[in-house]
Amino acid sequence: MHAAFFLLLGASVARFLLRHPGEPRTPWVIALSIALALLYVLGPAVGATQPPATDTRATRATGATGAARATHPPSRLLWLGLVVATWVVLVVLAPSFAWCAVPLFFTALRTLPPRAAIVLVALLTVFVVIAQLRLATAFDPNLLLAPPAVAALATAVFVHMERQAQAQRALIDDLIRTRRELAATERREGTLAERQRLSMEIHDTLAQNLSSQQMLLQAADRTWETDQATARAHVRTATGIAARGLAEARRLVHDLAPAELAGGAGLADALRALDAGPDIEVRFHLEGSPAPLPDRVQSALLRIAQGALANIREHSGARTAALTLSFLGDQVVLDIADDGHGFAEPRAATAQRGHGLPAMRARVRQLGGTLTIESTPGEGTVLSAAIPLEPAP
């Protein structure tokens, strides 16, 4: 549509110069043509079209199919008024510029509310008809019928496109909401399934073992004074059951540990294997002399790294991320840095990022450590988790 406007404007200028060379109005026509072109070019700078907020439920309930109503700043309306006024003056001086109104139809329909836009299109159409009749040497019905037909076609095409865009926005909103609901449902089902599995495991192993121990110890207590040999046998049997229960409890705890740390894999290897998606390069650095870490410390640092990489992927716009694991003797420090756009107010950014950062702080706090975040707009973000270690014997 922009190309059509400038093509019609250039053709009108060329037609005027060829048919009316050297007339007193020629400088005014050229100046107004340049002004109209500049005003049209400045259109995007004074406020772009803002798509309307789509209420899918209201659209379905009312069956509305009309064009969506866009919102525009006052400067956009002022710009449209200047464009139309310049074009009107230009057509008064040179009626051949009338057909430049066709692209202006779409501009009016995009900028104004539907009723006001249709009124403006009708006025422009009347002006085009008058201009064409001025140019004609004899009455021609086509000059009276063609402009309204073109205006009606342009309006119908625009309204149809707006309806399609509104339906597409509603469909996209439905798809996004359905995807979120499906993801939440799957998470709930997964949580319930895991809780059921754990409850069955605990009932079938630990609870049964504890029940057996209770019965054996009660039997030993009853026979301790009369039959010490039997009582000691009950105690030995209860001790064996307790040992098996302890082994089973350790197995359950091991099953709940991160899969990346299963099979004796160290924290460094698990961090080295992490990634943040195909568009982000993740680098790992190890500093200091590695020392054995408690399982809960390894698990917490791995989960923090995974959460930080997820935040980098979703929010930072970064291309690279660096993970640095440092052993400093009395503490272990994990730094996650990215080259994203950063943010100016860490507290506000933390509040907007859901449960990721609060969960990280909770993990570090449970281990007596600290979590710090440093960020500068345009220079990325650095997240640092420091956890103290017990001194070696």
Give the model confidence (pLDDT) of 91-105 as tens digits. Answer: 888 887 877 787 888
**pLDDT-wise least confident of 65-69, 138-142, 234-238, 323-327:** 65-69
CA 171 to chain centre: 17
Does 135 have pLDDT greater than 90?
no
Does 62 have pLDDT greater than 50?
no
Give the model confidence (pLDDT) of 310-351 as tens digits. Answer: 888 777 888 899 999 999 888 999 999 998 888 765 544 444
**pLDDT-wise least confident of 9-18, 64-73, 186-195:** 64-73
DSSP collapsed to 3 states, the chain = CHHHHHHHHHHHHHHHHHHCCCCCCHHHHHHHHHHHHHHHHCHHHHCCCECCCCCHHHHHHHCCCCCCCCECCHHHHHHHHHHHHHHHHHHHHCHHHHHHHHHHHHHHHHHCCHHHHHHHHHHHHHHHHHHHHHHCCCCCHHHHHHHHHHHHHHHHHHHHHHHHHHHHHHHHHHHHHHHHHHHHHHHHHHHHHHHHHHHHHHHHHHHHHHHHHHHHHHHHHHHCCCCHHHHHHHHHHHHHHHHHHHHHHHHHHHHHCCHHHHHHCCHHHHHHCCCCCCCCEEEEEEECCCCCCCHHHHHHHHHHHHHHHHHHHHHHCCCEEEEEEEECCCEEEEEEEECCCCCCCHHHHHHHCCCHHHHHHHHHHHCCCEEEEEEECCCEEEEEEEEECCCCC
Instruction: Say how far apart CA 128 and CA 86 lie, in whole Å.
Output: 14
What mean pLDDT value characterizes the chain? Answer: 79
pLDDT in the model for residue 279? 76
Instruction: Say how far apart CA 350 and CA 348 lie, in whole Å.
Output: 5
